[in-house]
Amino acid sequence: MDPVAMKIFDPRQHALHLQVLWIRVCTILALVALWEFAARSGVFYEGVIPPTWAVIVALVQELMAKDFYVDLGLTVFAATAGFIAGSLIALVLGILLGLRPFGRRVFEPFVTALGGTPKVIFLPIIFLVFGLGIESKIAKASLSAFFPVVLSTTSAFVQIPKIFLLTGRSFNLSTWQMFSKVYLPAMANPVLTSLRLAMSMSIIGVLSAEIANSQGGLGFRLIRYADQFRIASVYADAILIFATAAFMNFALSLLQGFLGRRGQKTTAAERAADKAALAATSGA
């Protein structure tokens, strides 16, 4: 039997997955029960912690509202566009800083300092430059996604083992071959991990911009319900925002796994080709 198939259908792994799933379900049920107890105990004001059924009703009403999907699309589009733009710029700049030690010594302290600064302080400037439309939400998402990726890319580039670089140069690899066969494989894991963090940060960036000043999006709905003291709807929107962020991160993790498997297959194929070439050379 195929070893890969045996690994996929391993009964022990299947039992472990079921156990993990069962614990997760029990955790959710326990949290719901704790919430209901807190709502009915009288310790908290009913408006602050509404009963579970009220949140469920508000959740269903949100899902049935047509304008909810318009706002959902605005938030997802702004977060995705900002994530892509900010990550691409960060990858290029991170690689440049990794390639140029002098430039890294000059600019890395500034990037690190700005990376640790709360990005919400830039919102007034972003609104002044880009206006109150979706452009400002994309800009805020790009700014939030930029710093995790650029810092991780620079750090990953610097930490590439010197033996890898010496080996690539000893084979007289071109610049593109050094990137594709040495730099990128060595940087893949930390960079992909930083991209998942950047996705979360871009969602937070869009929501903060929508809450601060917007006429659409999930953040706008959240602050509108809070102003109207519709607390059950606030919790319902918070649940939907959490589900949206979880889905986007899950999609990115699937892409990360696909790229990882593809990279492994490519590496295996290259090794097989190298062995075949070596055998042909030896036979000649």
- Whether the per-residue pLDDT at 173 is higher than 80: the answer is no
Does residue 237 form part of some domain?
yes
Stronger pLDDT, 206 or 214, i.e. the higher one = 206
Does residue 274 form part of some domain?
no
- Whether the per-residue pLDDT at 43 is higher than 80: the answer is no
**Do 129 and 205 lie in a common domain?**
yes
- Whether the per-residue pLDDT at 279 is higher than 60: the answer is no
Q: Residue 270 has what pLDDT?
A: 46
- Whether the per-residue pLDDT at 30 is higher than 60: the answer is yes
**Do 227 and 96 lie in a common domain?**
yes
Q: Residue 259 has what pLDDT?
A: 65
Q: Residue 274 has what pLDDT?
A: 44
Mean pLDDT confidence for 220-227: 90
Q: Residue 281 has what pLDDT?
A: 37
**Do 135 and 236 lie in a common domain?**
yes
Stronger pLDDT, 148 or 4, i.e. the higher one = 148
Enclosing domain of residue 167: 50-269
**Do 73 and 184 lie in a common domain?**
yes
> Total structural domains in the chain?
2
Nearest to 127 by CA among 203, 71, 224, 210: 210
**Do 70 and 137 lie in a common domain?**
yes
- The CATH number assigned to the domain holding 105 equals 1.10.3720.10
Pick from 136-150, 217-231, 246-260: least confident: 246-260
Q: Residue 260 has what pLDDT?
A: 64
**Do 76 and 186 lie in a common domain?**
yes
Q: Residue 76 has what pLDDT?
A: 92
**Do 137 and 197 lie in a common domain?**
yes
Considering the entire predicted model, what is its pTM? Answer: 0.77
Does residue 201 form part of some domain?
yes
**Do 133 and 220 lie in a common domain?**
yes
Mean pLDDT confidence for 251-268: 65
Does residue 275 form part of some domain?
no
**Do 65 and 107 lie in a common domain?**
yes
Q: What is the pLDDT of residues 117-166, one digit of tens each?
A: 888 888 889 999 888 888 999 999 999 999 999 988 888 888 888 888 78
**Do 144 and 198 lie in a common domain?**
yes
Beta carbons of 75 and 210 less than 8 angstroms apart: yes
Taking the CB of residue 198, how many other CB atoms lie within 10 A of it?
A: 29
Does residue 160 form part of some domain?
yes
Q: Residue 35 has what pLDDT?
A: 83
Does residue 280 form part of some domain?
no
Does residue 283 form part of some domain?
no
**Do 180 and 68 lie in a common domain?**
yes
Percent of the chain exceeding pLDDT 90 equals 20
Average pLDDT, the chain: 81
Does residue 278 form part of some domain?
no
Contacts 24+ apart (CB under 8 A), 226-235: 229/47, 230/58, 231/47, 231/48, 231/50, 232/50, 232/54, 232/55, 232/57, 232/58, 233/58, 233/61, 233/62, 235/50, 235/55, 235/58
**Do 5 and 109 lie in a common domain?**
no
Q: Residue 264 has what pLDDT?
A: 55
